[in-house]
Amino acid sequence: MRSFRFLIRGLHPRLLTVRPFGAILSRLMWDFHYLPAGCTHGHSRVAGSEQPARRHAPLLSLAFCLMLLPCGLSARGLALKRYEYSLPRMGTIFRIDLYSADEATASRAAESAFARAEELEQIMSDYREDSELMRLAREGASAPFPVSDDLYNVLAKSIQISELSRGAFDVTVGTLVELWRKARTTGRFPDGSELAKAKALVDYRNIELDPARRTVFLKRAGMKLDLGAIGKGYAADQMLALLQSRGLRQAMVVAGGEMAVGAPPPGETGWRVALDTPDVDTGSPPCTVVLHDIAVSTSGDSKQFVELNGKRYSHVIDPSTGLGLEGAASTTVIAKEAATTDALGTALSIMPVADGIRLAQSLPGVAVYMVRQAGNGWKRYVSRGFPAGCPGQ
């Protein structure tokens, strides 16, 4: 199988631009192979091939296959070519794939999209002390705190998902997230009293939004918000919208485990996506779907977990217990917006499978695919409306 070495080109020196007919990112950041039309690229192998594919870099949550296609034609009759760009954002690698009639247009649009992601990171980061989110945590418990439209919209969406999931998703888990980050660093289980104290500050109902004044009030001093389970999805939505506003409708944005896709590539019915599920390495067939004008997210612990006292804990924290989830699993959600799939992916990972399936099927345009460990084997569950290509119960 031929792979293409990554080349730095384009108008902006920080943008990583790929030649139109395929490339792979530097091995330090990405491992991506050219796959012929009709391929399926799973986490560890290419379907139909006896040779195992190289594993993706650890930051990747969604494995996917982007076919190199015959050039299409734009409305002006110019051949469309595929361009790829990638930059680190929000603690992971953000990737843009798009079709454009010329490289200058593609590069300018990609630069603007990455700038938008940087703007959102400055708003929503809980690592930057000067971010808007951290200023809200410091000042929002003393008086209603005026926030940007972006932060207000993300918090409004967060509360909506929290209500739908009955608190399985909760952005007020920031104090618990801090404890588990420390546990991953030190290798020590969080102290029981610290867990109890942090858990007492977790409750999305203690966030008060004022839609008229666009303010946020935190009812409990010491509350900390964590947007790690919705922020990247929101950024992917915003980046894709920006690209499409520039006339580049045949585009895709990948933000870690979140993906927002636009119109199909030239001559195709959609973007071909192979989902990264934890059972593929055990011989289960990969799950591949073809998507357009939609979003998809996969939540799982294959890359982020900690082993303490002989148990494996996921980075996904259950707000009701204060503990990371136990056992390998993955949850893939499809919906119209990546902010929705991102947040629901976390919520449905925490909820019992049957409850998660019911919730997904109650929401218009939402479908879910779950893989859960069952003893020494695996079980796959699929909701009504999930695209063909993923076997399940």
Structure pTM?
0.80
Specify the pLDDT at position 328. Answer: 72
In this structure, are residues 93 and 59 in contact, taking their beta carbons and an 8 Å threshold? yes
b or e along 183-221 (b: 16 or more beta carbons within 10 Å of the residue's beta carbon)? bbeeeebbeeeebeebbebbbbeebeeeeeebbbbbeee
Specify the pLDDT at position 60. Answer: 33
Q: Would you give the distance in Å from CA 373 to the centre of its chain?
A: 22
What number of CA atoms fall less than 13 Å from residue 58's CA on the CB side?
Answer: 6
Q: Which CATH number fits the domain 132-218, given the four candidates 1.10.260.40, 1.10.3980.10, 1.25.40.390, 1.10.10.10?
A: 1.10.3980.10
**Nearest alpha carbon to residue 320 among 167, 206, 189:** 167
Specify the pLDDT at position 3. Answer: 29
Specify the pLDDT at position 393. Answer: 53
Specify the pLDDT at position 342. Answer: 97
Specify the pLDDT at position 310. Answer: 61
Give every residue of the chain whose pLDDT is below 50, as ranges: 1-71, 73-75, 77
**Nearest alpha carbon to residue 231 among 334, 111, 89:** 89
Specify the pLDDT at position 180. Answer: 80
Q: Check the CA dihedral 104-30-232-177 and report its sign.
A: negative
Q: Which CATH number fits the domain 16-123+230-382, given the four candidates 1.10.3720.10, 1.10.645.10, 3.10.520.10, 3.40.50.2000?
A: 3.10.520.10
Domains in the chain: boundaries: 16-123+230-382, 132-218
Residue 281 is given by DSSP the state G
Specify the pLDDT at position 162. Answer: 97
How far apart are the C-alpha atoms of 124 and 5, rounded to whole Å?
34
